[in-house]
Amino acid sequence: MTSPAYQVTDPSTGEVVESFESATDADVEAALTAAAEAYSSWKDVPIADRATVVKKVAALFAERADELAKIAQTEMGKPVGEGVEEAEFCQAIFDYFADEGPTLAADQPIKTFSGGRAVVQKLPIGPLLGIMPWNFPFYQIARFAAPNLMLGNTIILKHAESVPRSALAVEQILKDAGVPEGAYVNVFATHDQIETIIADPRIAGVSLTGSERAGAVVAALTGKNLKKCVLELGGSDPMVVLDTDDLDSVAGDAWDFRMYNTGQACNSNKRMIVMEDLFDDFVARLTEKALSLESFSPLSSRRAAETLAEQVQDAVDKGATLHAGGTLSDGPDAHYSPAVLTGVTKDMRAYSEELFGPVAVVYKVGSDDEALALANDTTYGLGGSVFSADPTRAEKIAQRLEVGMANVNSTAGEGAEIPFGGVKRSGFGRELGPLGMDEFVNKRMFYVAD
């Protein structure tokens, strides 16, 4: 007998804590019916009234932050403090769209040259399917659900198989906040059932945050069925350090950002590109930080830790230098000691693959042009950052980064109001900020003649 697809496995021990049965086909049909029926009335609720409900969702995320943090720690190893921060970020996201949504969704007048009155309206399009990952089990849902509930769309949410408690906790928050029955439905769908949901004519669009492989599958399915999709996929973001008046600060920021969420963030600085005159000191500071760690959180799963270990070992076998860390536990837990790696070359997996875990890879360059060329030498294009004591010098490089999010003297501009998304094989579409309400909408032209 195969084990249930949805289960809680504590990555700190490898112990299976709880299992959940996958949805039946009848459950999927019920979710589709409920989402469609709810849409018929939710879309007509005045946006100010929808905002009142969304505001209550925000408040409940804050109220239940500690509870949510403990769930995430058990399911995917997130440090409790970071779990609380994630819940608070969800509060900020729902608050932002509740407050700004009516303005962002307002009619946009168009200048006409033939008389009459023309506007572009932003109208909902229908039930949506959200396919979410485990690494930020609450935030990923928030940035998809908040703007779309404000617009009047309804949501069927398929979460990662490893975080079912997180999925149920979010569903309960939305229910308790007064989101109407069917307007937000969690479903523990199988992969075959996801295909069925996407093909169903009641579904108007699909948002996926996940791997490049999953994105390709969903893009093919949505294309086949003529559905809009938004894809937030992997990243191998460059952090370019040209010069600095405070190496301790820059190296500290680099390390903290790379290790956040145990290195399991799409937009973390997975490739640190440092000028040769700073390189040795920069690496020394990261190495010191790695060696000083007395304890560290597990990765999300044993398999994730093993994959990361294989990528790093491949680099070492081909001549890269491992300065610290890089030790995989004996198992069945998912601990992997935070590592510092240099000397990575194009023949190594670590050069072209995303390292989704606590590994700081540092490259040495001799010029701004070399730094830029290396920064852009990737199939990914999520985010990137450039650091310099001379902002003009940094901006010149940042302007030429082939990414969806470019930052100067900051590892990442983040906030509910800051759009998130990438180009190239990091996907397409944007979430958060004003652009977050500009994806799953009918941008209807409305013209009234004189």
Closest CA to 387 of 375, 395, 379: 395
- State the catalytic residue, choosing from 266, 354, 431, 439: 266
**What's the chain's length in residues?**
450
Is the CB of residue 172 less than 8 Å from the CB of residue 184?
A: no
Q: For the packed helices 191-199 and 25-42, what is the interaxial angle rounded to 10 degrees?
A: 40
Closest CA to 160 of 1, 9, 355: 9
Single pTM value for the model: 0.97
- State the catalytic residue, choosing from 171, 232, 431, 439: 232
User: Domains along the chain?
Assistant: 7-233+426-448 (3.40.605.10), 238-408 (3.40.309.10)
User: Which pLDDT belongs to residue 4?
Assistant: 59
- 381 vs 240: CA distance, rounded Å: 15
Q: What are the tokens at 8?
A: 């809680």
In the chain, count H helices and then E strands: 14, 20
User: Which pLDDT belongs to residue 113?
Assistant: 87
Distances (CA, A) of 70 to 64, 77, 169, 411: 10, 9, 11, 27
Q: What are the tokens at 53?
A: 């409900």
**Among this protein's residues, is 90 annotated catalytic?**
no
pLDDT along the chain (450 residues), means of 10: 77 97 97 98 98 98 98 98 98 98 97 92 98 98 98 98 98 98 98 97 98 96 98 97 98 98 98 98 98 95 98 98 97 97 98 98 98 98 98 98 98 96 98 97 96
